[in-house]
């Protein structure tokens, strides 16, 4: 292979590896969850600020309503004093009129504050719902991620086992096991053959020894007869 072709193949390999890395779903999912958590943090901050505004508007609105009610009560009290003679009637009417004017201003302010309060409250409620939904989504995604990671590990382990089992016998453990069996069987056969040879040798030795033993006994008989003859001659 030429140097140019090797360089091209190396470039393709690196490009494919980079593409696989970029399209890694696990890393992309984890990054997506991190992004959602960042969004959740920002949403919570915005929700806290909105609720703070809502609470202040509610306090100001209630304060304005209370003022309007107090001015209404004070106007009644002034008119009663003017009617009972405890105060100059004209003076009482004049002060009661001022109290009613203040009451109208307080009521107008209360209405404006209530309008702003209701709008901000709706925004806060809507944002609260979004925050809750986002929290549920994050919890769901994190749970699914754990499940997918477990499934991925199991699938990877299964794939490795299947790869080993699918390899040819000449390269796999099964082939080595078969070769080991053949070797042991050959050793057993050799041991049995040597045993048979040993038994055969013992049988031949027994026959030879038996044959030789018989010859020795005959010679002894001959020697005994000769010795007896010599004794008879000596008489």
Give CA 68 to chain center in angstroms.
Answer: 62
> Which residue's entry shows tokens 């925050």?
131
Give the CATH number for residue 124: 1.10.287
HSE-up (13 A, CA, CB side) for residue 29: 15
- Structure token digits, residue 131: 């925050």
The mean pLDDT of 125-151, rounded to a whole number, is 91
- Write the pLDDT tens digit of every residue in 54-88: 999 999 999 999 999 999 999 999 999 999 989 99
The pLDDT score that the predictor gives to residue 122 is 95
Same-domain pairing of 137 and 219 = no
Contacts of 27 (CB under 8 A, 6+ apart): 21
Give CA 197 to chain center in angstroms.
Answer: 66
- Among 146, 166, 186, the domain-final residue is 166
Tally of domains within the chain:
2
The mean pLDDT of 113-135, rounded to a whole number, is 94
The mean pLDDT of 188-199, rounded to a whole number, is 76
pLDDT > 70 fraction of the chain, expressed in percent and rounded? 75
Same-domain pairing of 41 and 136 = yes
Terminal CA-to-CA distance of the chain, rounded, Å?
115
For residue 92, what are the domain limits? 10-166
Supply the pTM of this predicted model: 0.54
| CA separation for the pair 203, 112 (Å, rounded) | 128
Query: Is the sign of the CA dihedral 110, 112, 114, 117 positive or negative?
Result: negative
């Amino acid at each position: 292979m030429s140097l140019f072709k090797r360089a091209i193949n190396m470039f393709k390999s690196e490009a494919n590896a980079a593409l696989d890395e970029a399209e890694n779903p696990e890393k992309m999912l984890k990054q997506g969850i991190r992004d959602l958590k960042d969004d959740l943090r920002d949403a919570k901050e915005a929700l806290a600020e909105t609720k703070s505004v809502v609470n202040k508007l509610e306090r100001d609105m209630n304060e304005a309503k209370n003022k309007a009610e107090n001015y209404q009560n004070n106007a009644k009290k002034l008119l009663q004093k003017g009617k009972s003679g405890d105060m100059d009637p004209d003076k009482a009417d004049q002060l009661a009129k001022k109290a009613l004017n203040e009451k109208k201003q307080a009521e107008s302010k209360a209405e404006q504050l209530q309008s702003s309060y209701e709008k901000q409250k709706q925004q806060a409620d809507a944002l609260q719902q979004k925050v809750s939904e986002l929290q549920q989504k994050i919890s769901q995604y994190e749970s699914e991620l754990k499940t997918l990671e477990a499934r991925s590990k199991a699938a990877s382990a299964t794939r490795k086992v299947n790869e080993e089992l699918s390899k040819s016998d000449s390269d796999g453990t099964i082939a080595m096991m078969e070769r080991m069996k053949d070797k042991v069987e050959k050793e057993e056969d050799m041991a049995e053959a040597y045993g048979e040879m040993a038994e055969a040798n013992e049988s031949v030795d027994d026959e030879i020894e038996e044959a030789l033993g018989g010859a020795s006994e005959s010679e002894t008989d001959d020697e005994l007869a000769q010795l007896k003859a010599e004794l008879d001659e000596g008489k």
